């Protein structure tokens, strides 16, 4: 009998689900917008439907487990999503709920940590012991593999790379602090910085690009304008990339990893971002720690989350086998 | 037969050696100033003499191993001190040399990492899985235990906490970078900041305390003057402690540890330092990550280094037993 795992990437805007074989290959996939406004029961129903969708035509006996990943803190032991502001969820025992529904073990993980796991097991980090996955998107998150293990910390809250303070004089962060990496280098922060400058009357091609509506300025528009040489966009992007480089350099000094993976929407800026990060990293680390270091995009691309979720299920299955 | 290990803490100013039992209790100790100027052979002879001193009256058969710790990078596999600027040493195969001399296995470790190990095995971190040891002295170093293992990274260079950049506009660091934690919060940095201000004509009780010779201003004098309310000293110390707090907060966000240990000469400032660090940490971390966190002084006090070195030898003995 063929054996599979299911991975569910539960976000505030979309639910993405895959059926994966034990080598991390996607057999079938489903994706639907999260109807968070309709309430918890409705979202749970959406998750059930999405899981049923990817299971169609497969013998349920062959499903070894389900992995669910979501942003923010999860209690892996108890299978509880502790806090998912985008869903308006607090302390939802989703592990137990899914387990009851499908009569299959369900394991939980933070989404960035799961993406790191996915890349470690099936992607760019295969056979390595020390790697860091950074997702630069609306926020900045991280997953860390060190000593050949996932770093969870005392209660699963490790890896909050986005809330490392890199500039004490920096802008306020959603978390209430000031100068967090996320407040400077995330997509949201890049768009906000450009909006502030345009709003203050500075000239930029972003004014036309946003149809004279600063609210429409996104990180992607800033990257486009920067690529065309718009000075304001170039300055905004360089500032964000500089501090991203400082954050990466700090992680290198602390972890001495073999590999850094930078994913998430903002990483799609590509070469200018990776070149800029490298330049700052080279100037802010000891030479021997970056000699053989690689900084790459995720090998699993946009599937890091779902394949990571499937990897969580596979790892949970393996751990049960050992227990 | 009683069984012992030997720990050697090899520094630029002193060689400190202990004979320890397997519970980390010091049986005998030796301490002598390092004669680095006399060259490698002379320092090696000093180490031999120091080891012989603590072994006096003990059956050599009962010595399970020797652990040597030094600042800077070591190659644990090859038993080589890669770079010890204070000693003027580069690539000295001290492991093999000591092993030949005493016919006993010799293991190497970075000194801050060994201090973390010592506290983990025999001190404030007993029975924990996630703790960070920070030494704030002339420099700032760190040793990290996560997932119940020492964090070494790809080639043993992990834990360079002092070279985390916390202020991109900060003062230059000895490492060539700018705004490293070490360049702001180390003893050397505290003294330098006070000297700069006094040298620029600012009034302070430090002028009298240093007999009008700014070169005599030390971090300890600054702490004394601050305790007496000298405004310049208070400002210098608060700045250093603020950034130390930022560094600690960043480590908490990244590692979610159970315990932070702050040792080294500067930690002897005591309550003002620990209170100041806590204040910054509380303001710069997620509440749940600091709820049950402790920030403490080393339980092994000034013996963290030597007992840590003995713990390195004990761990090496245990690892050989398993192999």
Sort strands A149-150 and A140-146 into parallel, antiparallel or unpaired.
Answer: antiparallel
State which residue of chain B sits closest to A142, comparing Cα positions.
Answer: B254
User: Coil, strand or helix: which one is B289?
Assistant: helix
Q: What is the mean pLDDT of residues A205-214?
A: 94
List the Cα angle B281/B284/B289 in 5-degree steps: 70
| Binary contact (B149, A147; C-beta < 8 A) | yes
Torsion angle (degrees, nearest 10) of CA A206, A207, A210, A213: 140
Q: Which of A140, A182, A256 to mutate to test the interface with B (most CBs of B within 10 A)?
A: A256
Question: According to the model, what pLDDT value does residue A323 have?
Answer: 57
Q: Spell out the residues 6+ positions from residue B177 whose beta carbon is closer than 8 angstroms to its own.
A: A283, A284, B163, B165, B183
Q: Which of B154, B255, B256 is nearest residue A256 as measured by Cβ atoms?
A: B154
User: Coil, strand or helix: which one is B274?
Assistant: helix
Q: Which of B147, B161, B167 is nearest residue A147 as measured by Cβ atoms?
A: B147
How many whole angstroms from its chain centre is CA B24?
A: 18
Question: According to the model, what pLDDT value does residue A250 have?
Answer: 98
Q: Spell out the residues 6+ positions from residue A94 whose beta carbon is closer than 8 angstroms to its own.
A: A44, A47, A68, A79, A80, A81, A106, A108
List of chain A residues whose C-beta atoms are within 8 Å of the C-beta of residue B113: none
- Residue ranges in chain B modelled with pLDDT below 70: 323
* pLDDT(A46) > 80: yes
Question: According to the model, what pLDDT value does residue B12 have?
Answer: 86
- Residue range A99-148, pLDDT digits in tens: 999 999 999 999 999 999 999 999 999 999 999 999 999 999 999 999 99
Question: According to the model, what pLDDT value does residue A184 have?
Answer: 98
* pLDDT(A293) > 90: yes
Sort strands B149-150 and B131-136 into parallel, antiparallel or unpaired.
Answer: unpaired
Q: Spell out the residues 6+ positions from residue B25 whose beta carbon is closer than 8 angstroms to its own.
A: none
* pLDDT(A315) > 80: yes
Here the tokens at position A150 are: 């996932």
| Binary contact (A292, B154; C-beta < 8 A) | yes
Question: According to the model, what pLDDT value does residue B323 have?
Answer: 57
Return the axis-axis angle of helices A231-255 and A187-199, rounded to nearest 10°.
150
pTM: 0.94
Phi-psi domain of A111 (left: phi exceeds 0; alpha: psi -120 through 50; beta: other): alpha
State which residue of chain A sits closest to B249, comparing Cα positions.
Answer: A164
- Residue range A231-269, pLDDT digits in tens: 999 999 999 999 999 999 999 999 999 999 999 999 999
How many whole angstroms from its chain centre is CA A133?
A: 8
Sort strands B80-84 and B74-75 into parallel, antiparallel or unpaired.
Answer: antiparallel
Does B159 touch chain A if contact means CB atoms closer than 8 Å? Answer: yes
* pLDDT(A166) > 90: yes
Here the tokens at position B44 are: 């090696």
State which residue of chain B sits closest to A167, comparing Cα positions.
Answer: B167
| Binary contact (B168, A167; C-beta < 8 A) | yes
Q: How confident is the model at residue A306 (pLDDT cuts 50, 70, 90)?
A: very high
List of chain A residues whose C-beta atoms are within 8 Å of the C-beta of residue B258: 154
Residue carrying the six token digits 């070149």 = A275
Question: According to the model, what pLDDT value does residue A321 have?
Answer: 79
| Range B287-293 contact pairs with CB under 8 angstroms and sequence separation of 24 or more | B288/A73, B288/A155, B288/A157, B289/A153, B289/A154, B289/A155, B289/A157, B289/A160, B289/B252, B289/B253, B289/B256, B290/B252, B292/A154, B292/B258, B293/B252, B293/B257, B293/B258, B293/B259, B293/B260
Element (H, E) at B263: strand B259-263
Please name which of A129, A124, A126 lies closest in space to residue A297, comparing C-alpha atoms.
A124
3-state per-residue secondary structure call for A216-273? HCCHHHHHHHHHCCCHHHHHHHHHHHHHHHHHHHHHHHHHCCCEEEEECHHHHHCHHH
Here the tokens at position B170 are: 């900060």
Percent of chain A with pLDDT over 90: 89
């Amino acid at each position: 009998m063929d054996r599979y795992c299911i991975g569910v990437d539960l976000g505030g805007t979309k639910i993405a689900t895959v059926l994966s074989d034990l080598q991390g290959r996607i057999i079938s996939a489903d994706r639907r917008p999260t109807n968070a406004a309709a309430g918890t029961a409705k979202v749970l129903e959406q998750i059930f439907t999405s899981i049923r969708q990817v299971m169609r035509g497969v013998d349920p006996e062959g499903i070894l487990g389900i992995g669910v990943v979501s942003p923010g803190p999860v209690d892996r032991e108890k299978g509880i999503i502790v806090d998912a502001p985008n869903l308006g969820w607090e302390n939802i025992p989703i592990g137990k709920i899914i387990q009851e529904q499908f009569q299959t073990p369900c394991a939980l993980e933070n989404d960035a940590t799961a993406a790191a796991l996915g890349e470690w097991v099936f992607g760019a980090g295969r056979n390595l012991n020390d790697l860091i996955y950074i997702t630069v998107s609306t926020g900045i998150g991280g997953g860390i593999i060190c000593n050949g293990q996932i770093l969870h910390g005392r209660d699963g809250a490790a890896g909050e790379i986005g809330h490392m303070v890199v500039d004490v004089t920096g802008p306020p962060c959603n978390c209430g602090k000031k100068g967090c990496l996320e407040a400077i280098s995330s997509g949201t922060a890049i768009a906000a910085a450009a909006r502030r400058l345009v709003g203050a009357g500075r000239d930029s091609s972003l004014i036309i690009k946003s149809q004279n509506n600063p609210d429409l300025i996104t990180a992607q528009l800033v990257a486009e304008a920067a690529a065309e040489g718009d000075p304001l966009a170039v300055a905004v992007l360089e500032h964000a990339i500089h501090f991203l480089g400082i954050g990466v350099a700090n992680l290198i000094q602390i972890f001495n990893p073999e590999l850094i993976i930078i994913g998430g929407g903002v990483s799609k800026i590509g070469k200018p971002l990776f070149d800029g990060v490298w330049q700052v990293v080279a100037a802010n680390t000891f030479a021997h720690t970056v000699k053989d270091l690689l900084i790459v995009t995720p090998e699993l691309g946009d599937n890091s989350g779902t394949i990571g979720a499937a990897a969580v299920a596979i790892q949970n299955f393996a751990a049960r086998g050992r227990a």
